[in-house]
Amino acid sequence: MSPMDAPTEGFTGAPNELESHWMPFTPNRSFKLAPRLISGAKNMHYYSTDGRQVLDAVAGMWCCNAGHCREPIVKAIQAQAAQLDYAPAFQFGHPKIFELASRISLLAPGDLDYVLFGNSGSEAVDTSLKVALAYHRLKGEGGKTRFIGRERGYHGVGFGGISVGGMMPNRKMFGAMLSGVDHLQATYNRDEQAFSRGEPEWGAHLADELLRLIALHDASTIAAVIVEPVAGSTGVLAPPKAYLKRLREITEQHGILLIFDEVICGFGRLGAPFAAERFDIVPDMIIFAKGATSGTVPMSGVVVRKGIYDIFMQGPEHLPEFFHGYTYSGHPLAAAAGLAALDLYREEGLFERVNQLEPLWADAIHSLKSAPHVVDIRTIGLVAGIDLAPKEGAPGTRGYEAMTRAFHDHDMVIRTTADTVALSPPLIIEEAQIAEIVERLTSVLADLS
């Protein structure tokens, strides 16, 4: 069977067939009037239900890093489903999840040696916040309950994640549910950083704002600082040079944990297993998801430093040391997919490939500088953010039009957040396909009202 003729079992996409699925983070009414339906995928492409081959410029949603429906991963999942569909996650284990944890801990820098698995990035974020709270409490520092996030951070949609996140529309309904949270300023400043490649030169001093928050709240009340090394979902914001190192220094000096949310940055997106390695920093925890299984089976996790794990290993030996976990923590299918994905990343040198492609990618994307509506472009690793000028009085509509036109008229999946186009193709992308993305985007931008 080719991905072109993926079965849809009589599904035609008629309005009555679309009604019941309340789609996540999607304007349901608009979608259901003009749906974008995908029924197959292979390597760099999707196949739409109307029979088109569509170039995937975002690796699904920043997750299918090895490309789509790669045979070794598909086979590993199929074999695993036939051999062991599920094993209890609590009190029992299965071999593959131990192997995967060992391999991930070897990929993580320093003594980030222990992995707590979950299914989604949001779950892993909440797990990391709970680890931070419990760690301080076990150390007799129960007053350390405050978290510091950052404006324009995205940490998923759990109550913890939205509270520490800094995305306005997510926060306004539920953001205050975790008390005592404060935020660092976002690191983006267009006047100082426009059209940056890699880490912008300007902005390291913004890390010192953490000193102001420590002076305000006192370090004895602060459990952890959580940041995305490169903020993805709010528009691809690379950290200013030396900014993350400064955050590490300050948190270390004040006994505050530093959590890197690498749900997007991890597994090669920035040319290293984790962004922590690219930026030469050992945070206290790394949150991962998406690329861990190349997007094939939901899996997330938190990699934790040995010193934190060790603090938990106390109390009666018949009791769990951490009252936390999910039914599907370390699911066998996800473990099999994760191992196969790691093999593929290594065999094909996909993380190194990002380093080779990065300058070419940056040149190609920055060539859109004078295209209509473009007001800024940022690139780092195999990621790009392209800001479009918002329409007067209708912010977000130009971005939305770009996304829909790209799919319907130019056979390409892009991601937009408000008026920013975000690109993060599978790491297997060929040079010619990078040129194709630029060509198609040029046409999309020319068509925009």
Ligand X SMILES: Cc1ncc(COP(=O)(O)O)c(C=O)c1O
Binding stretches for ligand X (CB under 6 A):
120-122, 125, 154-156, 228, 232-233, 261, 263-264, 289
For residue 154, give the nearest of 417, 423, 427, 424 by alpha carbon.
417
Give every CB contact of residue 351 below 8 A, 6+ residues apart in sequence: 267, 268, 271, 272, 273, 345, 427
Tell how strand 415-417 and strand 420-423 pair up.
Answer: antiparallel
Cβ atoms of 405 and 397 closer than 8 Å: no
- Token pair of 318 as six digits: 């018949």
329: left (phi over 0), alpha (psi -120 to 50) or beta: beta
Distance CA 356, CA 371 (A): 26
Q: 224 or 364, CB closer to ligand X?
A: 224
Phi, psi dihedrals of residue 440, rounded to the nearest 5°: -70, -35
Q: What CA–CA distance (Å, rounded) separates 259 from 252?
A: 12
User: How far is residue 338's CA from residue 354's CA, in Å, rounded to a whole number?
Assistant: 20
Of the candidates 124, 158, 57, the one whose C-alpha atom is nearest the C-alpha of residue 290 is 124
* Two tokens, residue 194: 């426009």
Evaluate whether 229 touches 279 at the Cβ level (below 8 Å): yes
131 close to 223: Cβ distance less than 8 angstroms: no
Using an 8 Å Cβ cutoff, are 250 and 211 in contact? yes
Cβ distance to ligand X smaller for residue 104 or 364 = 104
